[in-house]
Structure 1
């Protein structure tokens, strides 16, 4: 990948993380949205414009270059077989999720029943997978890309979906930190697509908030799960009464 394309890819990812769109870029650099889309698709953008976009992202051009270089060396997902290894070892899976969420060595030992020896073994495994770099004094450096994700419908996603069904919804959702919203109606495919875009924006916002709170004390953060789902679906009550 050329340096110009790598920089533009980095810009796109930074926009996504911050919940910004091409329309936001267009307004910031005083161009039409169509012109901005053309700049990105053709990969033809000046250094001056890149610097202006970086202002929108609250980073410098030097920061963007460093981000682009890191993105080219960081992994975005594991293989199917690697995910299977994690699901087969729940202790390894627990440690994997913890380090991705920003836990340090001492945080994991303090919060979970994992011995230091066992934890070091799991961290060494993650080091071999290039998810982390295990540094001296058991410091953990994440090596995954900002847009790292588990495989769609892969072993880990299936594992968590099963537990969400069994555990997550066993709640009345009446605490101050809980909320359950359900709405149904008739929508066109166009409206469905628009809502899916808004759902992705919400996920991006969650990721941005998580990243911004990396330096917040673990004592002031709590495990939080956001489930966003939508499908074209008819409840059995209605399906059974429907005319052929």
Structure 2
């Protein structure tokens, strides 16, 4: 499944680079745009259809696999020590999050009203951490893979759980760009595992959309944070209502 996801991410990036849309793909292989979107979201593309889509771009499937391998060679995860350095320096972490979302140095400076020298120092540190390459003219080249992520239970995840959780949920979630779903039920282990797989698939789709929108001007994008979680838990209120004798 992980290889399939990576291959489809590479396919989507190639289609975008060639200027093709889902509608173009559908027209080429005789399916509706909605059907193409469903094939990608469900990661259910046959080799025959994959070959047809590659032919649109004058590519062989082997070319796509090679592209995927090149992308996977990029940084997928930081070490615990590197993440700790970011979480210990809020300015560095803020700028790291910006560059991971394809902000330019000018956009970072303008939005947060930072001094150029300060921003350059932080970018130089990210360069040493191999997250970016700081190019002439202070241009930023990302060195991370498309599926880059923070370490599970690592310093960055712990930092957000410790400092951001209360602020994040201090909202009525009633704006157009907000949504809060609270589900409660009784699932078998197999159903729980299936639901977790679906959550991970949604997370992958979010990363694809984030990548696709990264080329848009900053004025057309806004920060979004998604929390996906599932655990075995009964409402904490029960601990107070039903105390053991």
Superposed pair shares fold, TM > 0.5:
yes
C-alpha contact 1:10 1:71 (8 A) present in aligned 2: no
Per-residue deviation, 1:210:
0.6
Per-residue CA deviations over 1:194-239 (Å, capped at 9, x if unaligned) read: 1101111111111111111121110010000111111111123334
Summarize the alignment of residues 106-121 of structure 1 with structure 2, pairs less than 5 Å apart.
106-121=106-121
Per the alignment, residue 59 of structure 2 pairs with 60
Structural RMSD (CA): 2.8
User: Is 2:7 the counterpart of 1:14?
Assistant: yes
TM-score scaled by structure 2? 0.78
Q: Secondary structure at the match of 1:141?
A: strand
**Cα pair 2:7 2:68 within 8 Å, conserved:** no
| Length-normalised TM-score, structure 1 | 0.78
Off by >4 Å, runs of 4+ in structure 1: 8-12, 56-59
Decide whether the 8 Å contact of 1:19 with 1:204 is kept in 2.
no
Q: Is the 8 A contact 2:6 2:68 kept in 1?
A: no
1:152 aligns with 2:170: no
Distance 1:11 1:81 in 2: 31
Aligned twin of 2:242: 241
What is residue 37 of structure 2 aligned with on the other side?
none
The equivalent of 1:46 in structure 2 is: none
Tell me if 1:173 matches 2:184: no
Structure 1 residue ranges without an equivalent (≥5):
1-7, 31-48
Name the structure 2 match of 1:33: none
1:86 CA drift (Å) = 1.0
CA distance in structure 1 between the partners assigned to 2:148 and 2:139 by the alignment: 21
| 1:29 match | 47
CA distance in 2, matches of 1:183, 1:57: 43
Q: Is 2:193 the partner of 1:193?
A: yes
Any idea what SS the aligned residue of 1:127 has?
Answer: helix
Pair 151,141 (structure 1): closer, same or farther in 2 beyond 3 Å: same
Structure 2 residue matching 1:177: 3-state secondary structure: coil
- Contact in 1 for aligned 2:71/2:146 (Cα 8 Å): no
Aligned residue for 1:133, secondary structure, equals strand
Instruction: Tell me how many residue pairs correspond in the alignment.
Output: 213
Change (3 A) 1:57 1:89: farther
Report the counterpart of residue 141 of structure 1 in structure 2.
141
C-alpha deviation, 1:136, in angstroms? 0.8
Unpaired runs of at least 5, structure 2: 11-39
Shift of 1:243: 7.6
Classify 1:162/1:9 alpha carbon distance in 2 versus 1 (closer, same or farther; 3 Å). closer
Match of 1:207 in 2: 207
Q: Is the CA contact 1:87–1:159 (under 8 Å) kept in the aligned structure 2? A: yes
**8 Å contact kept, 1:135–1:141:** yes
Distance 2:188 2:173 in 1: 30
